[in-house]
Structure 1
Amino acid sequence: SSGKIAIHESEPINVRQKLLQFISIGFDHVAPLGWDHLLFIVGMALSTFLLKRLLLLVTAFTVAHTLTLGMAMYGLIEMPANFVEPVIAFSISYVAIENIFGNQSIMRKSLIVFLFGLIHGLGFASMLKNFDMEPDSFLVTLIGFNVGVELAQIAIVICVLLTVLINKKIFPNHYRQVLIIPVSVIISIIGFWWGIERVIG
């Protein structure tokens, strides 16, 4: 079909090859290609250095975007890109601003991340629909793509957590002023700018 990226070849690709192919595509869509999703994850990970809280946030985001990605790919839910894309951008700005000013409970923060994750899942689906997927390998490609997204997310979270912990070790009383706040300010400005661009564009 026109406008779509063909992924089939003259020889049928086996399940393992297809899975690995879409794990790579899913990973690349977050890091390094998906700057909006990447910055959201960075902003989310900057919000806490406590592993249990971070796992809760990551789980909330994962469950949410997996849910809407699957539903959108099976045609159960659809939202226009001119709604989804600006909301994704503003979600980046919101989580970053919360890092600067917010002091909400972890449950409230997890709920917010979950709600934004639902929208990010629709963004993932919009990208995945650009591929001309064969019906007999639809589920494999969907699973592979999602696994790739999760691997990228885990890699980003680990990098952010290590950076925060190192800064906390070096600047135990000022790590927020040295790292969290400046980076969050930059992320919030970028997210807001992208949001405005997507609204007026």
Structure 2
Amino acid sequence: MKKAFFLFLMLASLSAFGHIMPHIQTERVPFSVWQIIVAYLKLGFSHVIPLGFDHILFILGIFFLNANTKSVIIQCSVFTIAHTITLGLTASGYIVPIANLVEPIIALSIAFVALENLFHQELKIWRIGLVFLFGLVHGMGFAIAIKEIGLPENYFLGALVSFNIGVELAQIVVIFLAYFLLVKWVKNKIWYRKIIVIPISIAISCIAVYWVFERVFINS
């Protein structure tokens, strides 16, 4: 029990790194198209792995609803479409999100999908809708992060697309690692849900609830 509590505190402390973006000096920004693509691709990837612990937990919350490949693909596709929409609109200035509001909602979205895994095993249409809505909020979170480093005026769209592709690649890595390390070999075992899905979902929800409290009452 003490070990579990210590692990929870250690994981929760990672929230401090949830939205740190590598700082880029203006004079160091690459000027060629290819360099810009690579630079923002790396930034998008690093915003999730290793810096976006909250986004990683959201993807895992989606993943652990069940071991059905179709379910994972549908949810991740909906999430991707949603956060791409608001990432583009926010980065372009059409939406001006309030960080103190966006961050707690992101944490709430993580808690919701994780807690739902405890009570449901099948993908329902209303969950797809909620994943889409949550994706819209996560997209604003991505945009807030990318605005901290800025986008090159001469290649705005290319840099934005590259950043988004980097995010998607990182999400794919998270899913593949979760599948091959935690699911592939045991998904058909009678104890899979009891030993793997439920404990992980509880841990994710506890961390997310802590983040909600932290982002509302401490970091606001």
1:45-124 aligned at under 5 Å gives the runs: 45-103=63-121, 105-124=123-142
Answer yes or no: is 1:164 the counterpart of 2:186: no
Where structure 1 has 5 or more consecutive residues not aligned to the other structure, the ranges are none
Give, in whole Å, the separation in 2 of the partners of 1:122 and 1:20. 22
Q: Shift of residue 50 of structure 1?
A: 1.1
Q: Shift of residue 106 of structure 1?
A: 3.1
Comparing 40-49 with 156-165, greater Cα deviation is found at: 156-165
Q: Shift of residue 161 of structure 1?
A: 2.4
Where structure 2 has 5 or more consecutive residues not aligned to the other structure, the ranges are 1-21
The answer to whether the Cα contact below 8 Å between 1:86 and 1:194 also exists between their aligned partners in 2 is: yes
The code of the aligned residue for 1:133 comes to: L
- Paired-residue identity, %: 41
Answer yes or no: is 1:34 the counterpart of 2:79: no
Aligned to 2:206: 189
- TM-score using structure 2 length: 0.84
Give, in whole Å, the separation in 1 of the partners of 2:28 and 2:204. 44
Determine which structure has greater relative contact order: mean sequence separation of CA pairs < 8 Å that are 6+ residues apart, divided by chain length. 1
The code of the aligned residue for 1:129 comes to: K
The answer to whether the Cα contact below 8 Å between 1:86 and 1:199 also exists between their aligned partners in 2 is: yes
What's the secondary structure of 1:182's corresponding residue?
A: helix
- TM-score using structure 1 length: 0.91
Aligned to 2:31: 13
Give, in whole Å, the separation in 2 of the partners of 1:80 and 1:28. 23
**Alignment length (residue pairs):** 196
